């Protein structure tokens, strides 16, 4: 049998705690009847957000979307779009999100374990702005379910089934 391909090569640095998972465990330990594996709830805007990157195959090119989704209401509060899924894309959407929050806000931002969220620029921005980093476990897309769910809804309602032939990046950005 052929061995299945895996790009996972081990942890490049220390992985931050998985805050939504820890919150769920704490609620169960406190005696609450809480059955979910993760607590993706937020009592106020700017408390907990999730982010990830998704790809759109366009007419002759690919583009990448990086939104930050506030879990108070599940709405994207900032986003970046680029032809490269790199740190600049993710750092830009994080900066826009943090700029939209009131002075002194210190949110938790939950991500997957991708390279842009382990880059020095991401860590520095989080440290400088008082963001608590939270990260999914390797190979567990359910650990970032709100972001994945947002992508599914977005692609079903806006992208799939439409003819994107001849649509450039800036026109797509406007859509």
- Specify the DSSP element, H or E, that contains 123: helix 120-129
What token pair was written down for 33? 């009847």
- Residue 91 exposure: Cα atoms within 13 Å on the Cβ side: 16
Rounded Cα–Cα distance for residues 148 and 115 (Å): 18
Q: What is the pLDDT of residue 1?
A: 75
What's the whole-model pTM score?
0.89
pLDDT tens per residue, range 59-117: 999 999 999 999 999 999 999 999 999 999 999 999 999 999 998 899 999 999 888 99
Q: CA–CA distance from 76 to each of 11, 12, 116, 117, 140 (Å)?
A: 29, 29, 19, 18, 22
C-alpha distance from residue 29 to each of 32, 38, 61 (Å): 7, 13, 49
């Amino acid at each position: 049998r052929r061995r299945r391909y895996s790009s996972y090569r081990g942890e490049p640095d220390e992985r931050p705690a998985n805050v939504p998972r820890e919150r769920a465990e704490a609620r169960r330990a406190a005696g609450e009847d809480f059955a979910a594996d993760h607590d993706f709830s937020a009592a106020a805007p700017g408390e907990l957000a999730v982010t990830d990157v998704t790809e759109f195959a366009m007419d002759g090119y690919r583009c990448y979307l990086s939104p930050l989704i506030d879990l108070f209401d599940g709405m994207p509060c900032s986003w970046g779009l680029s032809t490269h899924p790199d740190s600049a894309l993710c750092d830009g959407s994080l900066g826009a999100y943090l700029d939209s929050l009131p002075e002194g806000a210190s949110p938790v931002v939950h991500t997957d374990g991708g390279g842009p969220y382990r880059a020095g620029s991401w860590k520095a921005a989080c440290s400088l702005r008082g963001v608590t980093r939270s990260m999914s476990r390797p190979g567990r897309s359910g650990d970032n379910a709100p972001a994945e769910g947002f992508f599914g809804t977005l692609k079903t309602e806006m992208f799939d089934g439409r003819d994107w032939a001849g649509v450039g990046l800036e026109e797509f950005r406007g859509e």
